[in-house]
Structures are given as structure tokens and as C-alpha cells.
Amino acid sequence: MTTELPIVTRTPDAVDLFLFSASSWLIHRIHYDLPFTTENDGHPGLLIHGPLQGTYMVQAAQRFLGRAAKLRSITYRHLAPAYMGDSLECGGTVSDPVEGSVEAELWIRKADGTVTTTGTATFEVQP
């Protein structure tokens, strides 16, 4: 049996992108320098960090599973870029616990339906 996660929508703004770059000491310009990002990399906007999206996916599952659930492993990949201003809907499904472990299928999609990131994660839960 699997259960659908309630969708959590995150819309990171310039402050969120700054805080993520600053706290992780990530200096890549595509997350804060718009002229560079459009002219050098050909993107229409500032990119939302891949690991920030990975974090959002984990948080959406964690909110459902509770604080006691512990992330044990995750594999995720990016299928399309997400830009500042995009609303990211974080959802997926989680399995029933089997021997203290829950498998989650996670995704992030934009309001227009474009899936930006998908992943699978394993959480340890209290039996």
C-alpha cells in the first residue's frame, strides 16, 4: 500500500536563494547574478539550487512522516530547470512501513505541470 503525500508548495524568492547559497558557501553565480545567468548560460532567470529542491522533497515527506522519521538514503535527478519565481509543488507517495523502513517516491513540479526533479528516498521510522 502507498499513501499520497499532501502537496507542499514552495516559492523561493531572492532571500531564500541568498540564504541557501550563503549558508552552504555556494558561490555559483547562476543563483544570484541575473545578467550573468542570462548572457553566459542562456537561462531566462536565476536557478533554484538542485540541493534546495532535494531538501524540499525530503521536507515534504518528513512533514507527513513526522519528526521521528530519519532519512537514510535518497537518489534524485533534475529533469528541467526551476527558476526563481516558479512555485514548486512537492509531492509523491510513501509506502507503508516494512521492518521499520518507508520507501518514498518524490517529485517536484511547476504550476504548468513541468516536472523539475524526481527522486526516491528511504526513511527509518519507529516500528
Partner 1 sequence: MITDEARAWAQQTYPDYVFDVGRRDIIKYAHAIGETDPVHFDAAAAHEAGYSDIVAPPFFPYVIRMHAAHLVPRDELAPDGSATADVPPVGATRAMAGEIHMELGAPVVAGDVITVKKRILEMYEKEGRSGNLVFVKMEFTFLNQQGDLVAREEFTRIYR
Residues lying near partner 1 in the complex (CB under 8 A): 16, 19-20, 22-30, 33, 36, 40-41, 50-52, 54-55, 58-59, 67, 70-78
| Cα angle: 46, vertex 50, 54; to 5 degrees | 135
Residue placing its CB nearer to partner 1 in the complex, 1 or 27: 27
Residue placing its CB nearer to partner 1 in the complex, 1 or 9: 9
Residue with cell 513540479: 109
Q: How far is the CB of 59 from partner 1 (least distance, A)?
A: 7
Q: How far is the CB of 1 from partner 1 (least distance, A)?
A: 25
Q: How far is the CB of 113 from partner 1 (least distance, A)?
A: 21
Residue placing its CB nearer to partner 1 in the complex, 41 or 96: 41
Is residue 27 within 8 Å of residue 21, measured between CB atoms? yes
Q: Kindly give the pairing relationship between strand 101-110 and strand 115-124.
A: antiparallel
Q: How far is the CB of 87 from partner 1 (least distance, A)?
A: 15
Q: How far apart are CA 75 and CA 119, in angstroms?
A: 5
Residue placing its CB nearer to partner 1 in the complex, 67 or 112: 67
